[in-house]
């Protein structure tokens, strides 16, 4: 009788595992993230820099008003292109500040254009300085403050927008492993001088981010879709808390 009971008892875990698999059919493989979605650059803004650099570093300090006027004419088509530029996917959360910064840039350029048109040299210098400041502010919106956080975000972007929604466990595990490897160098990263007073807060938030990634990895050992998706959301929220340090 004891031997007859063994079979049914040990069959229960196998049956439960079978039922779990039956409840979570394997999803179709999810495509890799397009490389162009992972770049934190905007080509149209870089084109503006090609004209901005000589105007600001050469013409402005030399009070070379003719060169400044020439730069104004060169900026016009570049700014039209910039105004219609589309941010890459990884920068989509920067859309609102980008739009605000772009408006300030275009407004300051109109002032520079007006001063150049009327020959107001004092106005040209003042508006050129304001235009350059607006440009630098726009660059800071999309430039990663900490390169290590940008690296982490590239792996999170694919996980959050592609692999998680498609529930591609192989790619989810790969992204989670990559993020876990990104956490130690992120924790060790030194903040730039303008935000160095937030270093301790930054590291505390990175530690919490690492904990959420560790939880995701643990759940992936015996994955349940609802739990895995919740863990991905938790990782994303923890990343946003780290990124908010720089607001």
Cα(29)–Cα(16) distance, integer angstroms:
25
Q: Are 216 and 155 in the same domain?
A: yes
Q: Are 164 and 221 in the same domain?
A: yes
Q: How confident is the model at residue 108 (pLDDT cuts 50, 70, 90)?
A: very high
Q: How confident is the model at residue 20 (pLDDT cuts 50, 70, 90)?
A: very low
pTM of the model: 0.75
Last residue of a domain, one of 89, 124, 142: 142
Q: Are 80 and 151 in the same domain?
A: no
Cα(187)–Cα(140) distance, integer angstroms:
22
Tokens of 206: 């990175």
Contacts 24+ apart (CB under 8 A), 74-83: 75/48, 75/51, 75/109, 76/113, 78/44, 78/47, 78/48, 78/51, 79/48, 79/105, 79/106, 79/109, 81/44, 81/47, 82/42, 82/44, 82/45, 82/47, 82/48
| Residue 91 confidence (pLDDT) above 70 | yes
Q: What is the overall mean pLDDT for the chain? A: 90
Per-residue pLDDT tens digits for 158-167: 999 999 999 9
Per-residue pLDDT tens digits for 206-215: 999 999 999 9
Q: In this predicted structure, what is the pLDDT of residue 26?
A: 54
Q: Quickly list DSSP for 23-58.
A: HSPPPPPPPPPPGGGG----HHHHHHHHHHHHIIII
| Residue 84 confidence (pLDDT) above 80 | yes
Structural domains counted in the chain: 2
Q: In this predicted structure, what is the pLDDT of residue 9?
A: 41
Per-residue pLDDT tens digits for 152-193: 999 999 999 999 999 999 999 999 999 999 999 999 999 999
Cα(44)–Cα(102) distance, integer angstroms:
12
Q: In this predicted structure, what is the pLDDT of residue 17?
A: 45
Taking the CB of residue 187, how many other CB atoms lie within 10 A of it? 16
Structural domain harbouring 227: 146-246
Last residue of a domain, one of 142, 169, 191: 142
Q: Are 118 and 182 in the same domain?
A: no
Q: In this predicted structure, what is the pLDDT of residue 29?
A: 81
Residue with the larger pLDDT of the pair 33 and 124? 124
Within-domain flag for 198: yes
CATH number for the domain spanning 118: value is 1.20.120.10
Q: How confident is the model at residue 13 (pLDDT cuts 50, 70, 90)?
A: very low
Within-domain flag for 3: no
Within-domain flag for 218: yes
Q: What percent of the chain has pLDDT over 70?
A: 89
């Amino acid at each position: 009788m004891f031997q007859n009971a063994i079979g049914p008892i040990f069959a229960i875990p196998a049956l439960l595992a079978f039922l779990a698999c039956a409840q979570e059919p394997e999803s179709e493989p999810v495509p890799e993230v397009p490389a162009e979605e992972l770049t934190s650059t905007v080509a149209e803004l870089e084109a503006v820099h090609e004209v901005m650099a000589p105007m600001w570093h050469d013409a402005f300090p030399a009070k070379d008003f003719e060169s400044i006027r020439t730069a104004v004419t060169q900026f016009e088509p570049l700014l039209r292109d910039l105004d219609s530029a589309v941010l890459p996917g990884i920068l989509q959360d920067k859309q609102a500040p980008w739009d605000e910064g772009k408006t300030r840039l275009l407004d300051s350029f109109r002032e520079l254009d007006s001063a150049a048109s009327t020959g107001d040299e004092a106005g040209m210098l003042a508006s050129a300085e304001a235009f350059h400041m607006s440009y630098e502010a726009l660059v800071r919106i999309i430039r990663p403050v900490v390169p290590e956080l940008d690296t982490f975000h590239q792996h999170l972007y694919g996980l959050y927008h592609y692999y998680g929604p498609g529930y591609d466990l192989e790619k989810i595990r790969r992204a989670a492993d990559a993020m876990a490897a990104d956490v130690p160098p992120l924790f060790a990263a030194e903040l730039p001088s303008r935000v160095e007073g937030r270093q301790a807060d930054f590291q505390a938030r990175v530690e919490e981010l690492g904990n959420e990634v560790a939880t995701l990895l643990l759940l992936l050992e015996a994955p349940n879709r609802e739990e895995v998706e919740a863990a991905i959301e938790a990782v994303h929220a923890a990343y946003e808390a780290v990124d908010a340090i720089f607001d």
